[in-house]
Structure 1
């Protein structure tokens, strides 16, 4: 069985993706910072799983992750970089530390994972890389400048990698969700409610109304797009929107 590594797999999009890949026949490695949450997530997946706790903003832990997987199961044919962080703040109130956190979590960590995953993929002449970006990888949006910049960056990285490895049997794509019904969005809702002095229900409704379908995207809808990138070798260098039609491209 081929091996798939999914970062940010303890909840939300990452967990839904890990479940989809397991159902598709992959031995699935669930990666995240919270070991207990990973173990709980893995227990809910029927196929072979491995849980690896790691902070991917630490270079040594990226290397340790891949070494652990390779020693136990062999090289990973699929890498899904779903781990990330969000931040809502006006540009004038965004600190250097907050800016760096967005770059480290949403751009540098996926870069390091891709760099480490690629050599065995290139040697085998097959592999799939999918990064969970965002619709704000394709447009600007108020109050999320640092987050938007990091997602623009990671989409550019994916496109560069896709062009670099296309002739070697490896593809790289990004999936760009809108607002998804996840714990990360729950935190965004709470921040909006606090900042605007409204209820969390009203804040959630405001986010839902930003999407033409007037609801939050479900994690499994994003995972389905990830699986299509894994299964279809002709999809390469794309930023696939899963946002109910908010960004038409």
Structure 2
């Protein structure tokens, strides 16, 4: 039952080239930076990543992206990540863009054992009808486009069929965790981390605070340990290393 692993390097040592990895985080919030750094150091390449975005400010998944270690991204948001946009438009990276709520539910469904579901999101657009560029040819043309999806009516309303996501591994970050893998997330870090964790066949969690079993009120658990296979406790310095994407000031 004790799932604690001493180092991030040990926790991701079996992540091989070409595997699929769900990664938690929302912008810069709740990103498993130490696990990503360890994965970068391991040399794993050709990764198929599922994440809301692909890093920002040269942190998070941007570390792997910049090193050319990612072959495919399933995500919702390119945003201000210029290297992400460059690789996509240059034909160096395959990208499946998914509505954000649909991505969240595809991950949750994968963890819940639901193979597919119907949603109104994307009906009447290229999300359902196909034709979204997934890979460019580097000359402005489309080398690979998305296929049309099944659309079905329920009570007169059309819905598109979306398939669940399961990945070989999942990397997440939690504010608190115990040795059994029960996790607690803080605020925006709860947006995608629990869902990514559910989707992974092997889930690794880095935790800012490690407590003994019983140290978390059962009613406070956001993700039960049944979904978590390895727990990596962060040092105080690692836990405090949190960047701010956009600073705002009040006059």
Give the TM-score normalised by structure 2: 0.28
Q: Which has the higher helix share?
A: 1
